Structure 1
Amino acid sequence: MAKHAALLPTTFARTIENWLVEDIPSFDYGGYVVGDDEKEATLYCKSPGILAGVPFFNEVFRQTGCTVFWSFEEGAEIIPQSGRVAVAQVHGPARRILMGERLALNILARCSGIASRARRLRSIADQKAFAGVIAGTRKTTPGFRLVEKYGMEVGGADTHRMDLSTMVMLKDNHVWATGSITNAVMRARSAAGFSIKIEVECQSEEEALEAIAAGADIVMLDNFTPEDMAVCATSLKAHCLSNHRQVLIEASGGITEETAANFMSPAIDIISFGAMTQGVPHVDFSLKIYP
Structure 2
Amino acid sequence: MAAAHGDLRHLLPGNYKRLIASWLEEDCPSLDYGGFVVGESEGEARLLGKSEGIVAGVPFFDEVFTQLGCTIEWHIKEGQPLSPSPIHHCATVRGPIRKILLGERVALNILARCSGIASKSARLVAALRAQGWQGTLAGTRKTTPGFRVVEKYGILVGGADPHRHDLSHMTMLKDNHVWACANNRAAADGGVKDPSSIESIAAAIPRAVQAAKAAGGFATKVEVECRSVEEANAAIGAGADVVMLDNFTPEGVREAARVLKQEWAAKQRSFLIEVSGGLTEENAAAYACPDVDILSTSSIHQGTSIVDFSLKVSLR
Normalised by the length of structure 2, the TM-score is 0.90
- Identity among equivalent positions (%) equals 56
1:209 maps to amino acid: N
Deviation at 1:290, TM superposition (A): 3.1
Q: What do the CA deviations read for 1:141-188 (whole angstroms, capped 9, x no partner)?
A: 000000000001111001111110010000110011111212211111
Give the corresponding residue for 1:17: 21
Verify: 1:133 aligned to 2:136, yes or no: yes
- In the alignment, the residues of structure 1 paired with residue 264 and residue 43 of structure 2 have an alpha-carbon distance, to the nearest angstrom, of 64
Return the match for 2:271 from 247, 251, 254: 247
Deviation at 1:132, TM superposition (A): 0.5
1:3 maps to amino acid: D
Asked which structure has the greater CA Rg, the reply is 2
Deviation at 1:119, TM superposition (A): 0.5
1:275 maps to amino acid: S
Q: Could you say what secondary structure the match of 2:118 adopts?
A: helix
Verify: 1:278 aligned to 2:281, yes or no: no
Q: Could you say what secondary structure the match of 1:290 adopts?
A: strand
Runs of 4+ in 1 over 2 A off after TM superposition: none
Q: What do the CA deviations read for 1:36-67 (whole angstroms, capped 9, x no partner)?
A: 10111111111100100000000000001111
Return the match for 1:40 from 29, 37, 44: 44
Verify: 1:203 aligned to 2:227, yes or no: yes
Give the corresponding residue for 2:155: 152
Give the corresponding residue for 2:177: 174
Q: Could you say what secondary structure the match of 1:267 adopts?
A: coil
Deviation at 1:4, TM superposition (A): 0.9
- In the alignment, the residues of structure 2 paired with residue 173 and residue 233 of structure 1 have an alpha-carbon distance, to the nearest angstrom, of 23
- In the alignment, the residues of structure 1 paired with residue 206 and residue 244 of structure 2 have an alpha-carbon distance, to the nearest angstrom, of 15
Give the corresponding residue for 2:126: 123
Q: How many residues align?
A: 289
1:281 maps to amino acid: S
Deviation at 1:80, TM superposition (A): 2.5
Aligned CA-pair RMSD: 1.0
- In the alignment, the residues of structure 2 paired with residue 240 and residue 14 of structure 1 have an alpha-carbon distance, to the nearest angstrom, of 47
Deviation at 1:113, TM superposition (A): 0.4
Give the corresponding residue for 1:183: 207
Gaps of 5+ in 1: none
- In the alignment, the residues of structure 2 paired with residue 235 and residue 104 of structure 1 have an alpha-carbon distance, to the nearest angstrom, of 49
Verify: 1:93 aligned to 2:93, yes or no: no
Gaps of 5+ in 2: 1-5, 183-203
Q: Could you say what secondary structure the match of 1:287 adopts?
A: strand
Verify: 1:164 aligned to 2:167, yes or no: yes
- In the alignment, the residues of structure 1 paired with residue 126 and residue 90 of structure 2 have an alpha-carbon distance, to the nearest angstrom, of 24
Q: What do the CA deviations read for 1:107-147 (whole angstroms, capped 9, x no partner)?
A: 00010000001101110121011111011111100000000
1:44 maps to amino acid: L
Verify: 1:106 aligned to 2:130, yes or no: no
Matches within 5 A, 1:40-59: 40-59=44-63
- In the alignment, the residues of structure 1 paired with residue 31 and residue 76 of structure 2 have an alpha-carbon distance, to the nearest angstrom, of 35
- In the alignment, the residues of structure 1 paired with residue 245 and residue 302 of structure 2 have an alpha-carbon distance, to the nearest angstrom, of 20
2:45 maps to amino acid: A
Deviation at 1:289, TM superposition (A): 1.0
1:37 maps to amino acid: S
2:164 maps to amino acid: R
Q: Could you say what secondary structure the match of 2:144 adopts?
A: coil
- In the alignment, the residues of structure 1 paired with residue 237 and residue 126 of structure 2 have an alpha-carbon distance, to the nearest angstrom, of 35
Q: Could you say what secondary structure the match of 2:72 adopts?
A: strand
